[in-house]
Structure 1
C-alpha cells in the first residue's frame, strides 16, 4: 500500500532518495550538504520529473491520488496552506489522499548525470543517487585553503599548496628552531631571541644572539662606557671598559680618600638610623600593649543580621527550616571559632512559645593551642532598632558554661565540624519580637559577646 504523508510533515525526509533541486532542463542545484552545486543531467530533464510548485526536479515526491500529479514533499505544506489544489489541473487536493511515491523517487535517482566539474576535467558520470558520494571526494572541486590563507584551488592541489605555496604553511626558524608560519617570518625575526645582531658599540664581536646582547654590553664589550668602580664613593670618571684599568692605576690616592670619606658618612648614617630604630621600637611596644588592652576590654562579638525575617519565620513554623545558622566568627585572631544559631519559632518544648538562641563551638585552626573545655561567659542580645539610641530596650540573656563531664559534647574540643549547641531555649517570648523596633524593614539583629577574662591570647 502507498505510504500516507501528513501535510504537517511535508518537509520531512523519506527513507530513500537524494535531496536535490533542479531549475532547467539541463542544469540544477543541490539542496542540503551541497547547496547551490549545479547538477548536470546527461539527457534533457523530462517535464514529469519537475515539481509544478518550485519548478525544480522533484525532491522526495508525493503524489495526489485523485489526479496522479506530484510535487516535492517540502513544497506540499505551502501548496495546502495557500489553496489545496493541484498546480497542473487545479483539481482539489484531499489532504488524506497524499502519499509518498517511493517508486518514482527511485526512478529519479536513476537519472544519468555527470560531475558538475566536468568543464574543468572531471570525467565522472553516473546515477543521480551516487552523485553525492562522488561530489564529496571530487578532486576537481574548488575548495578554500585549510589554513585560511584566502586562496582557492581544486582539491587535487591541496597537498602541493600546503607544501610549497601557502603563506601560512609551517617553517622552522633557523636561529631559535621555533615553528612559525611563513608569513610571520619577518615579524618573528624582529623579536627572535637567537637572531644574531652586531654590537651597537662596534666592538670586534659582530654576531651576538639578541638575548645575550645585554649581558655582552654589561660585562664583555670593550668599547662600552662604564663608570669608575669607585663611583659610589664619589669618583665621577667614566670611560671605555678597556681603558678603566689605567684610570685605577693612575688615581690610587684620590680613590683611597673618597673611600675613607664614604666610610665616615656611612658611620654617621648608621648611628642616626640606630636612634630612629630605638624610637620606633618604643612606639611598637606601646601599640602592642594597646592592642592587647583593647582585645581584653571589648571582648569578641558578632552582630548577626537576619534579613527576610517574615519568610524565614514561616519556614520555621512549617518545619522546613526550623534552625538557621550565622557565619562563623573568632574570639580573637587565633581564638575559638564559634557560630550562632536560632530557632525563630522556638526549639523543643519552647516551640511556638519562645524565641530560642544558641551558640556552638566549631573546629578551628588553632584548637590545639587553646584551653579546653570552653569556659567563657556568653551573652546574647536582641537589638532594638529604635532611631533614638537612648530609648532602645535590648533583650539580653547571659550563659556561664558549666565545665562538668556531662557537658563535654558542648564545651570540649570539637572532634567533628562543630559541637552541639548551647544557649537560651527560652530567650524571649515570641510576642516580644513584634513589639517596639526589634524588627524593621523585615530585618532582625542578634548580637553575641564572649567574655575574654582569663582567655589566653595567642
Structure 2
C-alpha cells in the first residue's frame, strides 16, 4: 500500500468498511446474510433499489449477462430491469456481518472459542491452539505442534542443543554419540596399537600414536607394491633379503608408469587442440562484447540526452506553474483588458495609416523614393504588430488561468476524455492527474486534487482513488499550521443530481500531509477506494466521456492575514 493510501485509510475506515478476510466456520449464519447470487456469506454487501442484498463482486457479474438485467431476488418486489446506478453500498449490513459469531480457525486443533468475525485475526495472534513449528527446526526437527504444547516438546526434543560432558561444546542431542566417538577431543580412547597404555583424551592419544612402541613400520618399497609390515628390525631384514622381489616390483611399476605417461601425452594433445578451439571461440566472444560496448555507449549517450531534455521540460513546467501562481488579481486583469483593447485599436490605426501611405505613395511623381520609405515603415510596423501578438497571447493565457482559479475553498474539476486517460493509467503512462490549484481565500491556503482513474493502493484496478493535496503557497508563513480545515470529496451526479457521492474527513494534525509544505506539494491524503469503476462508469456520473469532481474545504475559523 502506498504512503497516500496509508495516510487516508484511518479517515475512511468507517464509511468504507470492508468484509473481514478469510472463510471462517460460522456458528450460525442467518439466511439474510447470504448473497442471493452466490449463496455464500455476503462480502462487501450492496443493496438493490428493491432491497435485495448481494456481494459487490456478484452485483457486477449481473451485468455480464444479456439484458434485461434481473435481480437475483426474483420475486414480485424486484425491479423489472436492474441498473448499475440503482445498486448502493450497504454499510449497515457490512457492520452486522463483521459481528457474526464464528469458530476459531484452530477449532480442529482443540480451540473452543467463539468470536466475532472481525475479531478473528486478532484472536489468532494469541490463540494457544495455533500450529507452530519447533524452534529447533534449524537443527533438523520437523515436528509441528500447537503453542500450548511447544514448551513440553522442547524439553524432550531430539534436536535440542546440549553441552558435551567432556569438551563442554554446544552439540545437538541426537548427535551426542557420533560426537563422542569421532569428534570430541576430550573423549578418552584406547591406543590403536594396543600398547597397554590406559585410555587418554583423543587429543593426547593423537600425540602418543606416532611414538607408540607397537606402531608398525612399512617396507620402503610400499609405493611400488610391497605390502610387508612389522617391527623396525623385521622391516630391515626383509629389505635386505628381498632385493630380487623388489626389483621385479620396480620393473612392473616402471612399465605401468610409462603406459600411463603415454596416455597423459595423448590427453595433453587433445587438450591443446581443444584449447585452440576455445581460444577461437573466446576471440569471437570478445569481438561481440566490443560491439555490445559500442552499442551501450551510444545508448548511454542517448539516455543522457533524454535526461537533459526531461530536466529542461521539468524546468519549463516549474516556470509555468510559477507564472500561474503569479496570475494577476481582478484589478490587474481589468487593467490588462483595457491595455489589450488599446493595443488592438492601435493596431487598426496603424493598418489604416499604412494603407493610406501606400495609396498616396504610388500616386506621387517620386513614387520610388516614397515606396522605399513606406517599405521601411511597413517592416517596422510588422515587427511591432508581431510583438503585440505575442503579448496578446500571453495576456489571453493569464486571463484563462485566472478565470479557472477559485478563492472560496471550492473546486469543481471537469475531467474530460475519461476513457483515454483511464487507459493511459492502466498502461502505466500517466498513473495520476492533478487539478488546477484553488485557494481558501485570496491570501489563504493553496490546494489541489489528485485522482487515480485506475485506482491506487488497495483500490488499484477496481476503484477510482481521489485525494486532497496541500500545496506550497505565497502566504504560508502568515497562515496557521498544521492545516485543520474539514475536507469533503465529491463525485457529482450528472443525471438527476440526487446521487452525488461524497466522503469527508478532518485532517490528522500529526500527519505530514497537513504540515507546512517544504516542497511544491505535500503527500496526498484521501480515499483509495472512493468509488468502484463499475459504479462510476454509469450515466449517473459519466456522460460525454466526462466526470465532475468537487472538493469543498471548510473556510470557517481560518485566521487570514
Category of TM-score, reference length = shorter chain: 0.3 to 0.5
Larger RCO: 1 or 2 (CA < 8 Å, sep 6+): 2
TM-score by length of 1: 0.39
TM-score by length of 2: 0.33
